[in-house]
Amino acid sequence: MNSINFLSAIKHDYTLAILFFCSILSIVFIIERWLYFRTATADKGDEILARVRKHLDAGQAQQARDYCQKQPSVVAQVVGYGLACAGQTRRDMEDLLATKRLEERMKLERFLAVLGTLGNIAPFIGLFGTVVGIIDAFQSLALAGTGGPTVVAKGIAEALVATAGGLVVAIPAVIFYNYFMRRVKAASTEMEVASTRLVVMLGAK
């Protein structure tokens, strides 16, 4: 049984070339988001608030803000922003912290739409390549008039590579998209909890 040369197939099939590009794109964004989430969600809200309270109890408000600014986590950025807005009314502080949470959430969700889109469209691209390949196989058989089922089977087998390629691209993209969205939801909850506790801690009226 002859094996399929994937590199040769990519060179001669534009559908596989598109899927190959999509796979590279998916891998790049998965790695980028993985590295970003490692730092953006590194610190826990309770630990940050405990350190901030320690500084505030010692009358070191500036040191508390500096500490938050040095931390890369989204919770630290929200808490630091809240400290910078200290002195506002409770309503104003809650509104300002809400806008900061939205800003940090947008950073967390960056490029995730691309992963979600790749996960959705890759199987359809692969299916399109398979349909075009099968049509081409039958047209070749009709023009040649010889070869029988063997020629058709070989053409269909090569066409199905596109469907397999689409699934290979889509499955990891969907898995990591769902994983990262779960991390975004957890980080958003943690930011909201930290914001509420900070407002109470600062005693905003």
Mean pLDDT of the chain, nearest integer: 86
Residues 1-37 have pLDDT tens digits of 445 454 555 555 788 889 999 999 999 999 999 999 9
Residue of 170 and 135 predicted with greater confidence: 170
Q: Computed from CA positions of residues 55, 57, 61, 65, in that sequence, does the dihedral angle turn out positive or negative?
A: positive
- For 45-75, the pLDDT digits (tens) are 888 999 999 988 888 889 999 999 898 899 9
Domain range summary for the chain, segments of one domain joined by +: 6-202
| Distance between CA atoms of residues 167 and 77, nearest Å | 39
Segment 83-109 shows an average pLDDT of: 91
Specify the pTM: 0.83
Give me 101's structure tokens.
């949470």
Lowest mean pLDDT among 28-32, 129-133, 136-140: 136-140
* pLDDT score at 205: 47
Query: Does the pLDDT value for residue 120 go beyond 60?
Result: yes
Comparing 3 with 102, the larger pLDDT belongs to 102
Centre a 10 Å sphere on the Cβ of residue 176 and count the other Cβ atoms it contains. 21
